[in-house]
Amino acid sequence: MPEVKAPDRKVPFKEKLIWTTLVLVLFLIMSNMPLWGIPAGQQGFDYLYYMRLILASSRGTLMELGIGPVVTAGLVMQLLVGSQIVKIDYANPEDRALFTGSQKVLAVFITIFQAAAFVLSNSYGTLEPPNALAVFLQLFAGGILVLLMDEMLQKGWGIGSGVSLFIAANVSTTIMWGAFSVMGTSTENGDGYYRGAIIAFFQMLYDGYTNNDIWGYLQKAFYRPHGLPDMTGVLATIAVFLMVVYVESVRVELPVVHSKYRGFRGKYPIKLMYTSNIPIILVQALYANVLFFSQILWTRDPNNFWFGLLGTYKTAEEGGRLEPIGGLVYYLTPPRGLDLVYQDPIRAIIYGILLIGLSGMFASMWVEVAGLTPRDVARQLISADVRIPGFRNSQQILTRILEKYIPTVALFGGFLMGALAAFADYLGALGTGAGVLLTVGIIYQYYQLLAQEQLAEMHPALRGILGLE
C-alpha cells in the first residue's frame, strides 16, 4: 500500500506551515487540471453536482472524486464498529493500527470502484476504450494523491487534515465567487447584471436610483430567481459565520492542576462542538453516496419502481445535472432558499429532522472511533501528570467525572451542527449550509491549532497537555 512515513523527528512549526501550504497548492492545481481523453463539447451526467462543495470535487478534473473515497471509507468503518460487526479495542495500539490500515485499504478500493463507476455510467458521455482507460487511471491517481496528502498532514508533517483543508478551500472559493463574480447573467429578470450578489447589489442600487425605484430594485437584489446568489444568501452566510464562531467558544471548563509543578493551575475545556465538524462531513458523505448510486440506477432504468423509491429525477437544461423530484433523495437534498421552503414545507421539515438526527448519531459514534471517550481523555490527563483538584489522581475517578459531560456535550453538539446547517440552507447561504458550517469550523480549528503549535514551541512542557505529543 502507498504510505507516508511518520516523521522520525520533531517537525518545526515553520516546516509544518510549508508542507501544509504545498499540499493546498497541489490540491488547487489538481482542481483546475482537466482530465485528458474527454472529447471537447461532450457532456454526460454530473452525478455529484449537489455534493461537490462538501466533497471538494471539481467537475472534469483530477479532483473529480474529491475526498469522497476517504470520507466514505471512514463512514463505513465507523458504521461497522458502531454496530459491533467489527470489534476494536481503541486502548490497544495494535487494534488502532489495524483499524487505520483497514480504513486506508478500503479507501483505495472505493477509489477504484468510484472511478470505474464514473467511466462506465457515462458521466463523461460515451468514451472509446483507450480514452475510458486513460480517464479511469487519472481518476485513480487523483484519488490516491488525495489519500496520501491527507495522511501526510495527519501524521505530523503538516497541520490539521487534508480533508478539512480541501473542504475549506473549495467552499471559500465558491463563497467569494458567489459574492464578487463579475460574470454577466443571461437569465430571465437577470439580464445585464453581474452574477456576484454584492456586485449585483450595487449595480441594482444604481439602477434603482436612476429609475426612481430604489425599493423595487432592492427587492430584486435580495431575491434573485433561477438560483442566482443574492443578498439574502450573503446575510445568511454572515449570520451562520457569527453563530458558529460563538458556538465554537461555548465550553465547560474543568479546573486542573499539574502534579509535578504545584504552581501550575489551569482549565481543561470540553467544547460544545466536541466532535468538531466530523459528524456533518460523515452525513454529507452518506448523502453523496446515496445520491450517486440512485442517479446511476435511475439513468439505467427510469421506469423501475424500486429505483424510483430511492430517487427520481429530471434532467436540467444545462450542465448534465439531474434534479431530484421524488424518492428518498428528494428529502436528502436541501430546499435552498425561502421560496422553496414555502413551496414544499414538508420536504424542509423532513430534511431538517434527518440532518439533525444523523448528525447527533454520528457525533456519538465518533467519540468512540476517534478515541475521545471519557476513558481516553482521563488516560491522556494522567499521562500528562494533570489532575482535578479535590479528587485522587486516579484514572477511574477522572473517567467518572468526565462521563458527566462528554457524552451529553457530544450528542447535543451534533444536533446543533445539523440545525445550523439546515437553517443556513433554508436561507440560501452561499456555499450551502453544511459548506459554510464546515468552513467556519475548520478555519476556527486551524486558528486554534496554530496557536497551540506556537505555544508548544515556546513551552515544550505543555505539549502533553495540548495533545501534541
The pLDDT score that the predictor gives to residue 5 is 86
Average pLDDT over residues 78-99: 76
- Name the band, by pLDDT with cuts 50, 70 and 90, for residue 81: confident
Distance set, CA 115 to CA 66, 125, 136, 147 (Å): 11, 14, 6, 14
Q: Express each pLDDT in 371-382 by its tens digit.
A: 788 888 888 777
For residue 130, give the C-alpha cell. Answer: 483507450
Q: Express each pLDDT in 24-78 by its tens digit.
A: 999 999 999 998 888 876 777 777 777 888 888 888 899 999 888 988 888 888 7
Is 267 part of a structural domain of the chain? yes
Q: Tell me the whole-structure pTM to 2 decimals.
A: 0.78
The pLDDT score that the predictor gives to residue 264 is 65
Is 240 part of a structural domain of the chain? yes
Length of the chain, please? Answer: 469
Is 305 part of a structural domain of the chain? yes
Q: Express each pLDDT in 160-182 by its tens digit.
A: 888 888 988 888 888 888 888 88
Is 222 part of a structural domain of the chain? no
The pLDDT score that the predictor gives to residue 459 is 57
Write the CATH number for 429.
1.10.3370.10
Task: Name which of 16-25, 146-155, 377-386 the model is least confident about.
Answer: 377-386
Share of the chain above pLDDT 90, in %: 14
Is 74 strand, coil or helix? helix
Judged against a pLDDT cut of 90, whether residue 205 lies above it is answered with no
Non-local CB neighbours of 316 within 8 Å, separated by 6+ positions? 322, 323
The pLDDT score that the predictor gives to residue 354 is 93
Judged against a pLDDT cut of 90, whether residue 8 lies above it is answered with no
C-alpha torsion angle, residues 101, 106, 112, 116 (rounded to 10): -170
Is 445 part of a structural domain of the chain? yes
Instruction: Give 350-400 as a 3 state SS string.
Output: HHHHHHHHHHHHHHHHHHHHCCCCHHHHHHHHHHCCEECCCCCCCHHHHHH
Inter-residue contact 310 to 327 (CB < 8 Å): yes
| Tally of domains within the chain | 1
Is 224 part of a structural domain of the chain? no
Radius of gyration of the CA atoms of the chain, in A: 24
Place of cell 482507460: 133
